[in-house]
Every structure is written in structure tokens, then in C-alpha cells.
Structure 1
């Protein structure tokens, strides 16, 4: 390690080197590396700058994420409300369909089917035919009474 005198060290620390007599003096001692003086705040300032930048960027990132989360939550809430409205509409349609189905079932139970209609039609034909036969019988009877009445009128006897 090289030991320099106080004057030589002061001369080396000047920004502008000059070729004065002080600098030309050589130091007596061993040869080695010169101890370099590091700036005290340089390393700390770098760490402080890094930490300051990191904290600013972290804060901005958190703010951005919160805003994005707020927007996404709002969209999700709007979607849920639309879903609830759609579910309400579907429920009302289902209630109407159930009401219509109940009405249809009651009408089916009350309505006549084809076999019932054919059965009633056959019975009506029988009733009509029976009435027609009775009418013919009645006409025959009335005709007989008219014949008897005409005989009585012509003969005068009963």
C-alpha cells in the first residue's frame, strides 16, 4: 500500500491537476493501491431514490388496480341487476304458462271428446227415429179417427 503525505493527498484531491512542486514530491513508503474515498450519500441516495420511485410506482399501481376493481364491480353489479330483471320476467311468464295449462286442463276435462260426440249423436238419432215413429203412429190414428168421423157423418149413426 502506498502511503502519501498529507500535502500529496491534498494535491490529488483537487479537480484540476497541476504540475506544481508539491505534486512532484514523491511519497516514501510501500507501493500499493491508493484508498479511494467514496461519496457518503451516493449509495444511500441511490437506495433512497430507488425506494422513493418504488413506493410512488407501487402507490400508483394500487390506485390503478382499485379503480379497475371499482369499474369491474360496477359492471358485475349491473349484470346481476339485469339478470334479476330477466329472472323476474321469466318467472312471470312461467306463472302465466301454468295458468294457461290449468285452464286448458280444465277445458279438456269439461269438453266432449269424439267418442262422446258420436255416442250422443247415435242417441239423438234413436230419439229422432222414435219420435218419427210416434208421429207416424199418431198420424195413422188421426187418419183412422177422421175415417170414423166421416162414416158417422155419412150414415148419421155412431
Structure 2
């Protein structure tokens, strides 16, 4: 069966999730299996995981975690997309996880309302894909390492847009 160039959500299950370590990572420890809004569920999982992990690490170690998670995620997203035979499956949520970790790492400390605003902004930029996010989403398409990077890249641009809004919000004292 030839591979599809399709962004429609694949519907893997628990068997796929547990069949390979890359699948477990790419599907955000199962959060990508959600039938409703897997990207939002993956981002919620990222938020909770960050709140559990980050206090135990120095800021430098947090940055190293994000860098390592990007490299490992690139591999995992590449493998999972190839095995699902879909270029950018909706069930792959590691891109949301590592990009939202980046937002939280750079924007913290924030109270609960600030984190909720960061979550909402990130989800807006990731889902609506305005301007630069849409550009990034179309830049690296397909299968293999290029496609695996493409899965991550638009979410990093969404994270940058989120951080820009937060920086402007703080600058203007809102």
C-alpha cells in the first residue's frame, strides 16, 4: 500500500501505542489517542507533565530536557508517521508537548491564569494556523526526516507566536 500524503487524523489504538517506543512518545504517552481534539489533550498532558517535572530541574536542565525531547521527538514523529502511513497524523501530539514545554519554560513564572492564557494562546496559534504558523506548516511536508521535522516545526512557530504575545502583554503591563 503506497504512503498517503494526508493530514487527516489516523485512528491508532492501544496496540499501536505500545508496539514501538517511538509510537508511545509521538502519541504523548497515549494522550494522542483521544478521539476529540487530540492536540488539545496532548497540550493538557504537556502542561500537567511540565508542572510535575519542572520543579525538580534547574532552568538549564529544563532547557536540556526540551532540547533532548526535540531530538527524540523528531525521531519518534518520523517513525510513527511512517508506520501510520500518514504524513502528519492528528494522533501524533509530541509536537504540541515539546512546543508547549518551551512556552512554559520561557514564560514562567506565571500563576494559574497566566498558564491558562498561555495554553489558550498556544492552542489558538496551533489550531488556527495564522500567517507564520501556516507558512511553517507547509514548509516541510512528506515522510522521512524532513516530514518528521515538519510535524514539529509549525508547533515551534506557534510557540514563538505565543511567547511574542506574552512578551507584548508583559511589556504593556496587561
Name the TM-score class by shorter chain. Answer: under 0.3
Q: TM-score, normalised to structure 1's length? A: 0.19
Max Rg structure: 1
Q: TM-score, normalised to structure 2's length? A: 0.17
